[in-house]
Amino acid sequence: MALLYVIKDWDADAWLGAMRALNPGIDLRSWPDAVGRAEEIRYALAWRPPAGALHRLANLQVIFSLGAGVDSLLAGGELPPVPIVRVVDRNLTMRMSEYVVLHVLLHHRRQRILDGQQQRRQWRGPQQPAACEVRVGILGFGHLGQDAGRRLRDLGFQVAGWSRSRKHVRGIQSFAGAGELKAFLNRTEILVSLLPLTPGTHGILNLALFRELARDGRLGAPILINAGRGKSQVEADIVAALDQGILQAATLDVFETEPLPPESPLWSHPKVTLTPHNAADSDPGAISRYVLTQIRRFEAGAPLQNVVDRNQGY
Ligand code: NDP
Ligand code: OXD
């Protein structure tokens, strides 16, 4: 049994090293220079694989995405007709929840205003509502969204989630489907997007959507946090919304083009907090353990977990 790594943009050696540390005898190959005999490869572990890299593997059983999102995998041309398993792992989920809580609190506690006051040596606290007076809405209420939502709920925020199907999470209001999006937005002051990128979510974070957000909250104009995918946002609309006061501030981890081009106005916009797509990194050790567990289950005849629905695109 051989595993083939097809990794772009990440350090492939770190991934092979982490897997070898867990299972020293394992047969690991890497694309493109050390594929070996293609018919021996049963599993592919991929991140942003170039088109065609997973073809001609006659005995391939499963493709493991090394991240939670599979948009780049699915966009990379026709894939062999085997199951695709994506990451759902405590380590990654915790990282994302840390990010969401950090940035909700950053805006809620007005840290950017306080930073400016510190620079000017001003001893003055801005008005501070309690968390229970603030309504957070999470677009994309799946594994990551629900975990972050629970943590925000436990801090006292009024939390709602939007997904395709109805969810039942204690203390969190569920909105489902396109028909309930407007009601979800109308009650939301801090909007967090953890949506996967699919044809249905491409460009969804646009001016028309921002205009629907609640403007009667204690924080003033609404706030956007996007750690889902960059192509879900229309960056020109974010800049316009910030400049026109339709949005008060934005935290962005993901971008239409990554790395974010140097000429993007987002880099220096005073109302933007920006991070380089590292809200929730895939940790090679943790994710290799996850993949190995799935392979052992599969080899023992148990069903794979977290299989991607290719028709839905996530
Ligand atoms: P899940 O598949 O568990 O959750 C996705 C959620 O989005 C589900 O609730 C789903 O609804 C909802 N959804 C999808 N399409 C629509 C739609 N058209 N309308 C309404 N709701 C929709 O994924 P995860 O939570 O594990 O991950 C979410 C995304 O986070 C990833 O796809 C990836 O893009 C991003 N990510 C970003 C990282 C970063 O570092 N910035 C790191 C990891 C992930 P339903 O539940 O009904 O199916
Ligand atoms: C992921 C990511 O999808 O890191 O896991 O973006």
**70 secondary structure, DSSP code:** -
Distance between CA atoms of 60 and 37, rounded to whole angstroms?
12
Neighbours of 221 (CB within 10 A): 19
Distance between CA atoms of 205 and 226, rounded to whole angstroms?
9
Do the Cβ atoms of 137 and 123 come closer than 8 Å?
no
Residue 260 is predicted with a pLDDT of 98
Residue 78 is predicted with a pLDDT of 86
Residue 37 is predicted with a pLDDT of 96
Cβ contacts of 195 within 8 Å, gap of 6 or more: 139, 140, 201, 204, 228, 229, 232
DSSP percent split of the chain into helix, strand, coil, nearest 5: 35, 20, 45
Residue 36 is predicted with a pLDDT of 97
* 310 is a catalytic site residue: no
**Ligand 1 pocket, residues with Cβ under 6 angstroms:** 67-69, 88, 96, 140-145, 162-165, 194-198, 200-201, 227-229, 253-254, 277, 279-280, 314
Can you list the residues of the chain whose pLDDT is less than 70? none
pTM: 0.98
Q: Pick the catalytic residue from 277, 289, 296, 310.
A: 277
To test ligand 1's pocket by mutation, which of 195, 205, 309 has the most ligand atoms within 8 angstroms of CB? 195
Alpha carbon distances (Å) from 302 to 298, 299, 310: 5, 7, 21
Residue 224: Cβ-neighbour burial (10 angstroms; 0-12, 13-18, 19+): buried
Query: Of 238, 108, 134, which Cα lies nearest the Cα of 188?
Result: 134
